[in-house]
Amino acid sequence: MAMHTLVLGTSGTSLEDVIAVARGAARVELAEETRHALAVSRRIIDDLAAGSDPVYGVSTGFGALAVRHISPDLRARLQRNIVRSHAAGMGPPVEREVVRALLFLRLKTVASGHTGVRPEVAQTMADVLNAGITPVVHEYGSLGCSGDLAPLSHCALTLMGEGDAEGPDGTVRPAAELLTEHGITPVELREKEGLALLNGTDGMLGMLAMACADLSLLLTSADITAALTLEALLGTDRVLAPELHALRPHPGQAASAANMLRVLAGSGLTGHHQDDAPRVQDAYSVRCAPQVAGAGRDTLAHARTVAERELAAAVDNPVVLAGPDGTGRVESNGNFHGAPVAYVLDFLAIVAADLASIAERRTDRMLDRNRSHGLPPFLAADAGVDSGLMIAQYTQAALVSEMKRLAVPASTDSIPSSAMQEDHVSMGWSAARKLRTSVDHLTRVLAVELYAATRALELRDGLLAEGREPGPAARAVTAALRAAGVPGPGEDRFLAPDLAAAAEFVRDGALVRAAETATGPLA
């Protein structure tokens, strides 16, 4: 199979491209227009460097030290030093996909032609990505303003042939060795280049891009698990009618309701909520599932808009503004502040927590004999001898509880830095890191609901009249889950491996694919 190649121009990139580089093996090449723009902006930097006027990042120090003029003989050292000193991260290394997104997105901004970086430095960045070399970046060190300074500095350190990096085989080794093995010459930074390599929102943006992709899948998965739970509880699908949702025209709500209705098509279990113990209405966690998941969809749409705007941006300080005649100027700005990205990262953590919360409530309802409408306690084979899914719900509740803590916004915090020159920061990196944890937890929470709902549906067999069976989508999902090695009802067994397999079934999209064999494409 031919390897996918992205040609990076001056106008930014897409969320899909970020995913392709971060999680896949997509190669990156520089367009000719990019090389030309880089050369033009570099000439502007060289002309300014030759002049006598102080220019931030070119002939001055950085941050609170910008008052010092740096003589030409010290400027290469200045650029090396900013990378070395700012590569001050601590804690465990972050995931490979995060670092690849980080480096790719910095290259995206460099390729805009607004940073003053030479074409050969940009090419080295592409070469490192294409070689599968991943700088070691640590968990702690970014305040999300002047961008993700420490994480990006660790990436720049690798470009210089210093520090440690992970090779294509996953082994961490000195970066110099890895560059040599792949025929890559370490860069020797010149004026402005060290600063340009570490002054952006790339880490938090990369994690936002991946969270958008993951949550899109999980929102569809949540519609499926909610529908299966409604079916298992003999609920009514009449609340999903399009004309009801048209009365409150939130697009996400309509999409979620339509998904659920399609999953429930052909079911012989829905609409029997008055057979055993008459119910006028289903509980909120069942009846309001489209309203909650739909609000999450609309929030995700807003987050994608912010991410797409940021992907079209050139985030650096100062920036090079070139005129049509090749002349230009360098201007300081505040575009590196991570607030726009940080806000939506925090917003998505709220979405994930609430989506998990309502899923846990549905699961608990299936396990409680007083509310499950004829299902055995805890969906156990022999309740009392068997505990069934009692503790699976405990695990689900523990995950939800942590997600509520993770939903506390990071972006409302700010700690002044750099001798009060950088006196308001976004904490966007922290918002992104906790969102990744929350998304992972949501996957597990939905997996527990899926595990319980499919078991409950199978337990309905023999308890209901002939012809009262789950719909085609429920049968397709249950069969696929069983084929994936997740067993159905029976005596108590070692549950952790089953739940882990169910989580992977959700995470890799197998749940959605299985449902779509019966429903067609879901939103």
175 bridge partner residues: none
Closest CA relative to residue 139, chosen from 383, 430, 500: 430
Residue 348: closest CA among 288, 305, 396: 305
Helix ranges restricted to H, 132-174: 149-159
User: Which region, left, alpha or beta, applies to residue 90 given φ > 0 means left and ψ of -120 to 50 means alpha?
Assistant: beta
Among 56, 140, 284, 343, which one carries the catalytic annotation?
Answer: 56
Q: Which tokens sit at 396?
A: 């689900």
- Comparing CA positions, the residue from 339, 340, 342, 344 lying closest to residue 303 is 344
Residue 29: partners with Cβ closer than 8 Å, 6 or more residues away: 5, 6, 7, 8, 126
- Residue 284: active-site member: no
How many CA atoms lie within 13 Å of 449's alpha carbon, on the beta-carbon side?
36
DSSP labels for 6-72? EEE-SS---HHHHHHHHHS--EEEE-HHHHHHHHHHHHHHHHHHHSSS--TTTTB--GGGTTSB--G
Q: How remote is the C-alpha of 459 from its chain's centroid? A: 36
If 0-12 CB within 10 Å is exposed, 13-18 middle and 19+ buried, where does residue 496 land? Answer: exposed
CA distance linking residue 191 with residue 116, whole number of Å: 9
Task: Find the helix packing angle between 119-130 and 149-159, rounded to 10°.
Answer: 90
Catalytic residues: 56
